[in-house]
């Protein structure tokens, strides 16, 4: 089966990040994630009035970009090694780091104005449950953003960690089914990478 035929969470069986290898991946993400972090903040027009929830925050690069723009930020990730790294490199006091998953976000209803998940939806265990949680924690008018690297249908290994156009469109359709409005799929450049950005609004 090619990546084009696979579900949007085609790496849900990934074993997760831990130990020395997890820390190494975290350091690589710190170095490589800056362009996507800027793209996320610009696409959602994050500002001081926002509360941003970063689902699968990893080492927290995008969370820090949002905090520098004045937002209150909560970084959520299931991997203790990622949260340790995020805490270790963060000087900004307005970010809270918490253990959780897309499927079980440890935050109250309507507590966020922005929810984003960057290079992470392809790892979610359950996309329907994750979108239900995103809708629950977003206040009315809140913005949802998912960004994934553009991949080809025949990609394998590390090169398969992302979405084909078909997978981006499938995620957009799931957003509509989950009750989001104004759902848009766009191909964007993030540094030297081409990514899919799926944006939606919680009515
Ligand atoms: C490729 S990393 C991306 C990290 C970060 N968003 C970035 O762009 O640097 C994927 C992250 O998703 C997290 N993750 C895996 N499964 C998850 C799930 N079900 N819900 C939320 N996060 C998950 C991993 O622990 C990891 O930190």
Element counts in the chain: helices (H) and strands (E): 6, 7
Report CA(143)–ligand 1 centroid distance (Å): 19
Task: Report all structural domains of the chain as residue ranges with CATH numbers, in order of start.
Answer: 7-201 (3.40.50.150)
Residue nearest to atom 4 of ligand 1 (CA): 58
The answer to whether 94 and 72 have CB atoms below 8 angstroms apart is yes
Q: What share of the chain is helix, strand, coil (3-state, %, to 5)?
A: 35, 30, 35
Q: pLDDT tens string for the chain (203 positions)? A: 445 578 999 999 888 888 888 888 888 898 888 999 999 999 999 999 999 999 999 999 999 999 999 999 999 999 999 999 999 999 877 899 999 999 999 999 999 999 999 999 999 999 999 999 999 999 999 999 999 999 999 999 889 999 999 999 999 999 999 999 999 999 999 999 999 999 999 99
The answer to whether 202 and 40 have CB atoms below 8 angstroms apart is no
Report CA(101)–ligand 1 centroid distance (Å): 9
Please identify, by atom number, the ligand 1 atom nearest to the C-alpha of residue 82: 27
Which H/E stretch holds residue 199? strand 193-201
Residue nearest to atom 7 of ligand 1 (CA): 58
Q: Which residues line ligand 1 (CB under 6 A)?
A: 17, 29, 33, 36, 55-58, 61, 77-79, 82, 101-103, 118-120, 123-125
SS (H, E, C) 63-82: HHHHHHCCCEEEEEECCHHH
């Amino acid at each position: 089966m090619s990546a084009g035929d696979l579900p949007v969470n085609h790496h849900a069986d990934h074993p997760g990040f831990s130990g020395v290898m997890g820390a190494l991946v975290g350091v690589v993400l710190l170095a490589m994630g800056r362009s996507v972090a800027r793209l996320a903040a610009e696409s959602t027009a994050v500002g001081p009035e926002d509360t941003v929830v970063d689902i699968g925050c990893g080492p927290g690069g995008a969370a820090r970009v949002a905090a520098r723009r004045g937002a209150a930020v909560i970084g959520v990730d299931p991997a203790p090694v990622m949260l340790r790294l995020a805490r270790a490199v963060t000087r900004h006091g307005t970010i809270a780091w918490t253990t959780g998953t897309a499927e079980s976000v440890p935050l109250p209803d309507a507590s966020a104005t922005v929810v984003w998940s960057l290079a992470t939806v392809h790892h979610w265990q359950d996309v329907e449950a994750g979108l239900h949680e995103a809708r629950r924690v977003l206040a009315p008018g809140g913005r949802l953003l998912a960004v994934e690297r553009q991949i080809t249908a025949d990609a394998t290994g590390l090169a398969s960690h992302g979405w084909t156009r078909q997978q981006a469109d499938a995620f957009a359709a799931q957003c509509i089914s989950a009750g989001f409005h104004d759902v848009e799929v766009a191909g964007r450049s993030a540094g030297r990478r081409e990514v899919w950005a799926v944006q939606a609004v919680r009515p």
